[in-house]
Structure 1
Amino acid sequence: MADTGDAVGSGASISRRLAQWSVDVRYDALPPATRGRVGQFLLDYLGIALRGSTLDSSRPVRSLGQPPGPATVLGRAGGVGAEWAALANGMAAHSMELDDTYLPGSVHNESFVLATVLALAQERDASGREVIEATVTGWEVACRAAAALRPAVTNARGFHPTGTCGALGAATAAARMLGLDAERTAAAIGIATSQASGLLEYVTDGAWTKRFHAGWAAHAGIVAARLAAAGMTAPATAIEGRFGFLHAYSGDPDTDLLLDGLGDGYAIDRTALKYHPCNYYIQSVNDSVLALVRDGVRAEDVASVLVHTVSAAVPLVCEPLAVRRRPAVMIDAQFSVPFNVALALSTGRVSFRDFTPRMFADPGLRDLMDRVDYRVEPDFDRRYPAEWPGRVDVVLHDGSTRSAQTLHARGDPRNPLSWAEVVDKHRGIVAGLVAEPDGDQIIAVVEDLDRQPDMAALTRALSRIRVD
């Protein structure tokens, strides 16, 4: 593949160079492993979004008046317009805290990229290969934008990269699905910069707006691409300009990360597939606690727990500590180090089925949560964001200390899940919700994605699943 600078000139704007690269991506040039990653994430997305569609937070968007169309709102009868399916399904997919994480950018791509791509694939009778191409391009742009903002910096400003950068990634994927050329794709990306949104204030009271960010990014991306196709313009320097995306959402960006090495490897290959239903800062913590449980540590023997983490984790999953020790709703628990540690010590697992009011109020878990504290580990800060490590020191009642450390959480590309493990995760998430024949068909279609002439077989299986 030609370097994007050769294709359009090194003086072209960032959005124009990203756009040229995205229209040049071809299935045949993608490594087999990269194609396979799309299938893994698609299966993961479908399971998470189906289960997420059963949550109360998914109901408001399904109650909105939506024009009929060919795209599936998961769990609901009848099709709707692609923009609306992407909004509903993207929000559902981000509600479980089980979707992927691109660590250098702290961004979750499954929810907005795959919600966008699948909705438009249904609308346009796109093939599996087209789905793969569009997914890779949207994923790349979102990840590069998020890494360039620098997670700790943009988070400190109160912005959620899944919402802000997700709009750019979704617009790129949508433009690819709609067959736009590089000029119109660049316009779509530029339009999306004016739609980018998402505030971290949800951490204060467990509000549903976090989940909304992913769905809105998918919705915005499709709208941006349609507007670009109709001739709407956007600033050429919408990303790097004086009043552009990078300045607004970071103020201290690493602009080189947007273009350096573009076409030499793919961000989707370097994206972690989550294993535990919680914020990614807690993934390695949970792996460490579960390792101690497997080695014989029992909840009743624990006097205190000290969790070592990175500075960026503190305002999201550690503080205010008194609040994190008393989760009231699911999203509170998804962002609570004390709850996850106590749950893992008590049950030997971290399952979304345990993120319930009954467990939040459990006296034993509350007692354990009160014994969990944290400390910022300077060495972990030096590794971040390339690595998101965690270490847990458990002091037992007999005075001894047991410790475990995880540098790469389960599902990290450096500690990957196999296809069989992804299937097992998917089946566990949809158990009791999806009939076995439909579940088998979904898995078979995704496993053979690049041979699908369209998404009709997948749509038939999905259309039979009801959550209302």
Structure 2
Amino acid sequence: MNLTREIAQLCYEVQFENISDEIQDRVKYLLLDYLGVAIRGAKTESSIPVHRFCSVRQDVPGGVPVIATELRVDAPYAALAMGVAAHSLELDDVVNAASLHPAVSVMSAALAAGYLAKSSGQELIAAIVAGYEVTVKLGIALDPAAHYARGFHPTGTCGTLGAAVAAAKIFKLDPDGITHAMGIAGSQAAGSMEFLADGAYTKRFHAGWSAHSGLIAALLAKEGFTGPQSIIEGRFGFLHAYSGSSDPEKVLAGWGRPYEVMNTSIKPHACCRYKQGAIDCILQIVNDNELLPDDIERVQVSILKAGFALVAEPPDKKMNPSSVVDAQFSMPFGAAVAIVNGSAFLDQYSLENVSSPGIRELMPRVFCTEDPEIEKEFPQKWPAKVEITSKVGKKYFARLEYPKGDPENPLTWNEIISKFASLATTVFSRNVCSDIVTQVRGLENMTEVVELINQLKKP
């Protein structure tokens, strides 16, 4: 059996009755996080043109509601809109070892497919588990640094295949069908990192397009369309085409032990994950020592090599963000906004703060360096280290092994519910938000996920 078919067989075998209570709970935890981000993300400036684009495809038979809107559109376009929304805040979940965001692709496709197929909550849970597993295992096998070096965004590339698997599971495809769905998805996997040049919205588009393309792949496979059965390992397959140092053995290594949903991190800060540990350290120093911006002479931030080009280079660009996307990928901005505002959540990543004189004045005092000491622990850990020097010469240090939100340093269920409420109450009443939390926490008892998705329509 070749690798692609072996993956398909393993995905087929992911059945709800074989999923532990712990894994089920984790899926619901991640789903609630996704929904909060997608609800608030539907209001962003990048989501509005997507909604206009999708609106000409609304009111179709079998149309799927788009979260937090009045739209009801073809399922692949619902997946597109939801994926873009969920990736627009830089608050979506992430798997450190794969350096990608699985929910935005997998859950967007699974929910749209689930509505179409009138799937049960149990079927949705199994589809999400399988979709995450494929997305993350491919990301690890590619070698994230090598994948980035070729200019690819792993959320867009790996997410396309994971979304296809999740949708194929929803449609109850057999191993052959899942194989073909992945094969078709492999011809659509895309996502250029060139958005870093000017803060374009295309990073957000990658998530939506991967969900859209993955769902189309599963729909085509369902109708008998074929894809190459060696799409993962073949001479011109995914691993060879998208990386110069991929390792096929890593795809199956540790499969399901535990499932990758258990290795998925939640973001407490609205920015690139490579900044988040440093922001945790900065907030710890500032809060513990009651430091004010005017007290600070220098902020020294150690950045992991894998993320240095994303958040620290080129220095002139990172010191002069011109958009919210630029700011989300600027460590100097992230450090300054955390010091000035005492937080780095959604409200802090605004155009107003991008041009704020107080933040701009502090940014040149932030210095980013690579650090061999923290590099030794990566990627098993994502350590962060910060040193702040005051204007009177006093030095303050902070270091952590795992950023807040990592499985080893997790947000509690109450913290996830609080994060969800802070985002979702921008669209829905607190009573509706409470109902959504209840539905998600009882997902395994839901006869049709249509019930949940209908609750997510804009009132």
Q: What is the TM-score when the length of structure 1 is the normalising length?
A: 0.95
Query: Which of the numbers 234, 251, 254 marks the counterpart of 2:244?
Result: 251
CA distance in structure 2 between the aligned counterparts of 1:197 and 1:425, rounded to whole angstroms: 30
Aligned to 2:198: 205
Q: Deviations over 1:21-69 (max 9, x none)?
A: 1111121211211111111111111110111111111122212221523
Q: State the shift of 1:420 in Å.
A: 0.7
Aligned to 2:329: 335
Aligned to 2:260: 267
Partner secondary structure for residue 224 of structure 2: coil
Matched, 1:454 2:448: yes
CA distance in structure 2 between the aligned counterparts of 1:155 and 1:310, rounded to whole angstroms: 14
Aligned to 1:428: 422
Query: Which of the numbers 313, 316, 333 marks the counterpart of 1:319?
Result: 313
Query: Which of the numbers 347, 356, 371 marks the counterpart of 1:353?
Result: 347
Matched, 1:376 2:370: yes
Matched, 1:153 2:146: yes
Aligned to 2:278: 285
Q: State the shift of 1:238 in Å.
A: 1.2
Matched, 1:57 2:60: no
- Letter in structure 2 aligned against 1:202: F
CA distance in structure 1 between the aligned counterparts of 2:296 and 2:370, rounded to whole angstroms: 21
Q: State the shift of 1:333 in Å.
A: 0.9
Matched, 1:127 2:120: yes
CA distance in structure 2 between the aligned counterparts of 1:343 and 1:382, rounded to whole angstroms: 29
- Letter in structure 1 aligned against 2:29: Q
Q: State the shift of 1:346 in Å.
A: 1.2
Matched, 1:214 2:207: yes
Worse-matched range after superposition: 95-104 or 324-333: 324-333
Partner secondary structure for residue 397 of structure 2: strand
Q: Does the CA contact (< 8 Å) of 2:65 and 2:454 recur in 1?
A: no
Worse-matched range after superposition: 124-133 or 427-436: 427-436
Aligned to 1:168: 161
Q: Does the CA contact (< 8 Å) of 2:68 and 2:427 recur in 1?
A: no
CA distance in structure 2 between the aligned counterparts of 1:302 and 1:129, rounded to whole angstroms: 53
Query: Which of the numbers 374, 382, 387 marks the counterpart of 1:393?
Result: 387
CA distance in structure 2 between the aligned counterparts of 1:78 and 1:431, rounded to whole angstroms: 19
Give the percent of matched residue pairs that are identical in Structure 1 and Structure 2. Answer: 39
Partner secondary structure for residue 313 of structure 1: helix
Unaligned runs of 5+ in 1: 1-11
Q: State the shift of 1:381 in Å.
A: 2.0
CA distance in structure 2 between the aligned counterparts of 1:360 and 1:264, rounded to whole angstroms: 43
Partner secondary structure for residue 367 of structure 2: strand
Q: Does the CA contact (< 8 Å) of 1:21 and 1:263 recur in 2?
A: no
Q: State the shift of 1:316 in Å.
A: 0.6
Q: CA RMSD in A?
A: 1.2
CA distance in structure 2 between the aligned counterparts of 1:46 and 1:130, rounded to whole angstroms: 18
Q: State the shift of 1:345 in Å.
A: 0.9
- Letter in structure 2 aligned against 1:41: L
CA distance in structure 2 between the aligned counterparts of 1:14 and 1:277, rounded to whole angstroms: 37
- Letter in structure 1 aligned against 2:276: Q
CA distance in structure 2 between the aligned counterparts of 1:348 and 1:77, rounded to whole angstroms: 36
Aligned to 1:66: 57
Q: Deviations over 1:115-135 (max 9, x none)?
A: 111111111111111110000
Worse-matched range after superposition: 441-450 or 230-239: 230-239
CA distance in structure 2 between the aligned counterparts of 1:270 and 1:320, rounded to whole angstroms: 31
Partner secondary structure for residue 63 of structure 2: strand
- Letter in structure 1 aligned against 2:222: A
Matched, 1:21 2:10: yes
Q: Does the CA contact (< 8 Å) of 1:301 and 1:396 recur in 2?
A: yes
- Letter in structure 2 aligned against 1:238: I
Worse-matched range after superposition: 130-139 or 255-264: 255-264
- Letter in structure 2 aligned against 1:237: S
Query: Which of the numbers 392, 403, 409 marks the counterpart of 1:415?
Result: 409
Q: State the shift of 1:263 in Å.
A: 3.2
Unaligned runs of 5+ in 2: none
CA distance in structure 2 between the aligned counterparts of 1:363 and 1:284, rounded to whole angstroms: 25
Q: Deviations over 1:2-36 (max 9, x none)?
A: xxxxxxxxxx1211111111111121211211111
CA distance in structure 1 between the aligned counterparts of 2:183 and 2:450, rounded to whole angstroms: 32
Q: State the shift of 1:78 in Å.
A: 4.0
Q: State the shift of 1:212 in Å.
A: 0.3
Worse-matched range after superposition: 92-101 or 290-299: 290-299
Q: Does the CA contact (< 8 Å) of 2:120 and 2:449 recur in 1?
A: yes
Q: State the shift of 1:314 in Å.
A: 1.4
Q: What is the TM-score when the length of structure 2 is the normalising length?
A: 0.97
CA distance in structure 1 between the aligned counterparts of 2:254 and 2:381, rounded to whole angstroms: 20
Query: Which of the numbers 91, 97, 101 marks the counterpart of 1:98?
Result: 91
Matched, 1:184 2:173: no
Q: Does the CA contact (< 8 Å) of 2:135 and 2:158 recur in 1?
A: yes
Instruction: Give every structure 1 segment of 4 or more consecutive aligned residues whose post-TM-superposition deviation is greater than 6 Å.
Output: none
Matched, 1:137 2:130: yes
Q: State the shift of 1:460 in Å.
A: 3.2
